[in-house]
Amino acid sequence: MELMETTGVPAGWEAYGDDKHTRMGFFTDTSVCIGCKACEVACKEWNVIPEDGYVWTGESYDNTSTLGANTWRHVAFIEQNEPLRIGADGEVGVDTSPDGGGDDGDALRWLMSSDVCKHCTHAACLDVCPTGSLFRTEYGTVVVQEDVCNGCGYCVPACPFGVLDKRELPKREEDAPLVSQVLGKKMDGRVWKCTLCYDRLKGGHEPACAKACPTDSIQFAPVEELRARADARLEKLAAEGWNKVQLYGRDPDDGVGGFGAFFLLLDDPEVYGLPPDPVVTTKHLPELWRDVAVAAAGVAVAVVGAFLGGRT
């Protein structure tokens, strides 16, 4: 039952004792994202992630569409007929630039956001993994051990954000040598996702995506420090009249105990394809198992009663 309580402390993190490190994470400020996709490229290069298909999605300049086994960072492009800023009196397109020479009258805006695994404080994927492939690191992050993953896929529907996915690689004969060389003997069926560059963290380096981001849209630091930065940034943009600016995943009292990778958004989460009020999907498991046990006991009593009644 304790695993289901959103305490604000990453479940399993305290087990490291003296080896526990400060909880690290991401704060993604979408207001300064320029959609360059440097984070996507850096992530793929460092983690040796296969290409995910050169397809035309029709979703602006978004060619990956969603997070998946082969896309651990996804830069979304959302085109809107919305003003960037709204004045305190409701005036649309108010000029809040320091020199007074800006022009915010054009209602067309692009929302660009680099999405990633949220490294939830209370992660349902950890609760349902039967092999221990998914584990909480000493940095408070959530990582998949692909050499332990048995491909059961229980974690895929357990994630409220649709982050986890099973990798399916082409089984062409000419691909086999390269795939085996890069990814090991097992060629498909396992679950893959962002590790927050666990190997880089252990070496004292920041994750590849944050290192490559030219605008500091992706910031890497201790989670508590990032929350303070996010609060200050939100206050500044709200004072400037930025339209619908809000923090997403910053609150440790939300349905997953807060994210280890949270965001500043310029519209409602649904616009970015994010659930508005995510809840750890295993929250009600103890209650469900208790109901099942009660029902099973009732059936057993009925069967025994019927058997004894038949004998008399």
Residue-by-residue DSSP string for 158-226: H-TT---EE------TTTHHHHHHHH-S--SS-EE----SHHHHHTT---HHHHH-TTS-EEEEEHHHH
Q: What is the pLDDT of residue 121?
A: 94
Shared domain check, 191 and 77 = yes
Beta bridge partners of 78: 111
Contact 52, 68 (CB under 8 A): yes
Contact 308, 302 (CB under 8 A): no
Shared domain check, 105 and 36 = yes
Shared domain check, 301 and 225 = no
Shared domain check, 263 and 308 = no
Q: What is the pLDDT of residue 81?
A: 82
CATH classification of the domain holding 169: 3.30.70.20
User: What is the chain's pLDDT, residue by residue, as a tens digit (312 residues)?
Assistant: 344 455 678 878 888 999 999 999 999 999 999 999 999 999 999 999 988 877 778 887 888 889 999 999 999 999 888 777 665 555 555 444 444 444 555 567 889 999 999 999 999 999 999 999 999 999 999 999 989 999 999 999 999 999 999 988 665 555 555 555 555 544 678 999 999 999 999 999 999 999 999 999 999 999 999 999 999 999 999 998 888 999 999 999 888 999 999 999 999 999 999 999 999 888 655 554 454 455 666 676 677 767 776 655
Q: Is residue 2 part of a domain?
A: no
Contact 11, 258 (CB under 8 A): no
Number of structural domains the chain divides into: 2
Which CA distances in Å does 215 have to 31, 149, 218?
10, 36, 8
Helices (H) and strands (E) in the chain, counts: 8, 10
Contact 209, 219 (CB under 8 A): no
Shared domain check, 293 and 225 = no
Q: What is the pLDDT of residue 182?
A: 54
Cα gap 304→312, rounded to integer Å = 13
Q: Which residue has the tokens 């962002």?
A: 194
Which CA distances in Å does 57 have to 63, 75, 77, 123, 224?
6, 13, 11, 30, 37
Cα gap 113→248, rounded to integer Å = 12
Query: Residue 222 belongs to what H/E stretch?
Result: strand 218-222
Supply the range of the domain harboring residue 297: 282-312
Shared domain check, 301 and 252 = no
| Type of residue at 162 | G
Query: How many CB atoms lie under 10 A from the CB of residue 293?
Result: 10
Shared domain check, 193 and 302 = no
Task: Return the HEC string of 261-290.
Answer: EEEEECCCHHHHCCCCCCECCCCCHHHHHH
Cα gap 263→230, rounded to integer Å = 8
Shared domain check, 184 and 66 = yes
pLDDT in tens, 252-270: 988 899 999 999 999 999 9
Shared domain check, 299 and 273 = no
The half-sphere exposure of 55 on its side-chain side, counting CA atoms within 13 A, is 9
Cα gap 64→1, rounded to integer Å = 38
